[in-house]
A and B are shown apart, each in its own frame.
Chain A
Amino acid sequence: MTSAATLRAWAFPVVAAVLVSGVLGVQIANGGGDFVPARSAPPCAQRAVTSVSTGIEGLSERLVLMGLDGAACRLHVTREALALELAQSRTPTDAQVNALRAGLLEAVDRMKAAGTLPPASELTDEALDNSHLNGLIKAAIRALPDSLINSALKTDDVLRRTINALDLRSLLANLNDPNELSQQINAAVTKAVEDSLAARLRDLL
């Protein structure tokens, strides 16, 4: 074999290797190898929670999302894994239900501390629209000044009472039935408002 032929014989695989390196280099420089599904955040990391909804729906959504974070942190699983598990199994475990309740209560505390809980007067109109109260009573309550409503009803207290009153197991079972879900939540909120008012009266007396 002549030296030119030997050179050609060596050069050909070298050119191939250079070509391969070039393609791999361009791919890696553009994120080749990192094209993988997004990883879930650590369960106990603080997460900014937002909602496009306003009023009671927005408040509920933020509470649920923060509560889910808290529950996941307690159970040492990711928020996503817990959400999937709760959605897929129709019978949540006691540990899951307890963690969820504790997470929701902690969310109320966090929102109160951050000053993001709206005063009760901001939610009254919407709550009355959804309630089955007599029209006269609704009109009477709407006529009350905001300061009176806010001094009589504390949002955090109503929320805590609602969370404690809710049957979370049956709530999770009814996630796909908006009417049933709404009835359950309305009943719990109404009872929480009544209990809160009664407690306030007891305190005043």
Chain B
Amino acid sequence: MRRAATPLLALTVGFVLADSAIVTLALPEILRRLGGTVPQVAWVLIAFNLVLALVVVPAAWVCAHRDPAPLCAAGIAVFAGASAACALAGSMPVLIAARSVQALGGAFALVGCLELLAAVAGERRGVACWIAAGVIGTALGPVVGGLLTGTISWRAIFVVQVPVAVLAVPAALSVRRGAVQRTEMQRPAVAPNVALLLLSAALTAALFLLVLLLVDGWGRSPAIAALAVSVVPVAAFAATPLARLARAGPRAETAAGCLLVAGGLTALALLPSANLAWTIAPQALIGLGLGLTVNRLTVDALRDRVPRVLHGGWTISARHAGVVLGLAILTPVFTADLRDAQVPAQEAITALVLDAPLPAQHKVALAQGLSDQLTKERGRVPDLHPAFARLQLGPAERPAAEQLERNLDSQLERAATQAFRNSFLIAAGLALLALVPMILPRGRVTT
């Protein structure tokens, strides 16, 4: 079991950090199945990240003063139990509560794993493994979640975590750390942690908003959206060898990373059409930026600081506080923009229906059907196809109706894309803001 401890503990770190964004692609499906509003479903994400951000530093403090193995094992067990509860949740409040408990267990699991990986694999390799697992988990989370939602169900996201977590419990208990050493507490590294916070807030937009745009705005399936957003992790993996090749130094890497994330988000705000191909280059920029910054900033925040577990806790706290900050800033902006986009979208649709080359009786029937769909979708981007399916058209009228449906869908895609523009631009601003703590002169490590 001790031999399997390293991969199992790394997998646990990956899963817990993936959970921050793993439900992103499932949110529209959860919204449909459990009901509620967009701000409510955002709490499925916010609750996890908020609890993790608040609990992880105290959890790290406890792990620094007690044997981390049983604490880590207990954390993983709680995480597994809460994951099962998430899978069985029948209502939004139950799911949000279970997500909070998941984060509570996840906090102990994360910081415990840092100590245990360092004990098993050695200080340098253990920490590197912990950081890499976190970056991979964060980048892959939405993709895995989307594929599971698309192929099985949103509940599968939580079911698959249970067996891995169950196996990781004995793995954690098998590791024995050396005697607890009393060391002085060093202050957390402010600059890299603040930069991590701001970048995480910006990356939330990339992962959360892009997925919502693809699934809810453009009507793509979660599986297709998952494949589309897989560009981010692929580019993130490419960043490390690229940085090694360039040997530009930590500051240059993080500065370039912040610029790439900000540029990618700006590019998402200026998409020329709803073709998925246009999202590839912006995502590649974001992925490269993610790979260059998060890894480097985490290493920077941990370097030469003791106790290691506490500073690891600070990086996790900063990242997840950033996610909460991003959601808190961006959710009201894009929900208000989506609401404001309804009138221009309705007017554009009305113009197309009035001028459509269809007999008047079909136009009236279509207008009624479209109105019913808008009412049924309660403010979400509607699926217009049922209104067209109800029309009794002759063969000569079908091509015009099909063209009209395509044109109406295009207007909806345009309205949705425009509604996300401000949020992407704000997120780009947050990524640029992350440059500030990196530019400021660094203080020395103090206790």
Contact = CB atoms under 8 A, between A and B. Distances in A.
Task: Please say whether chains A and B are actual partners in one complex.
Answer: yes
Interface of A: 1, 5, 8-13, 15-17, 19-21, 23-24, 26-28, 30-41, 50-53, 57, 60-61, 64-65, 68, 78-81, 83-84, 87-88, 175-176, 178
5 contacts: A9-B252, A16-B263, A19-B285, A21-B263, A78-B347
A35 to B, nearest CB: 5
A15 B245 CA distance: 14
A32 B347 contact: no
Given A12-B253, A26-B281, A28-B270, A83 B359 contact: no
B393 interface: no
A85 to B, nearest CB: 10
B256 interface: yes
B135 interface: no
Contact of A35 (B248, B252, B271, B281): B271
Contact of B418 (A5, A27, A36): A36
Given A20-B260, A84-B347, A33 B364 contact: no
A83 B368 CA distance: 12
Contact of B358 (A27, A40, A52): A52
A23 B246 contact: no
Residue with the highest number of chain B CB atoms closer than 10 Å, among A9, A31, A176? A9
Nearest to A176: B368
A16 B259 contact: yes
Interface stretch (B91-99, B319-327, B409-417): B409-417
A57 B360 CA distance: 8
B266 A24 contact: yes
Contacts of B256: 12-13, 15-16
B247 A8 contact: yes
A46 B47 CA distance: 55
Contact of B351 (A12, A20, A38, A87): A38
B354 A20 contact: no
Given A52-B357, A87-B371, A37 B414 contact: yes
Contact of B272 (A32, A57, A60): A32
Contact of A39 (B257, B281, B344): B344
Given A8-B248, A19-B260, A33 B415 contact: no
Given A36-B417, A65-B354, A80-B351, 11 more contacts: A12-B253, A13-B256, A15-B256, A23-B267, A24-B266, A35-B273, A35-B417, A37-B344, A52-B400, A64-B360, A178-B364
A1 B250 CA distance: 13
The 5 A-B residue pairs whose C-beta atoms are closest, nearest first, are: A20-B263, A12-B248, A32-B270, A16-B256, A80-B347
Contact of B278 (A12, A27, A33): A27
B382 to A, nearest CB: 14
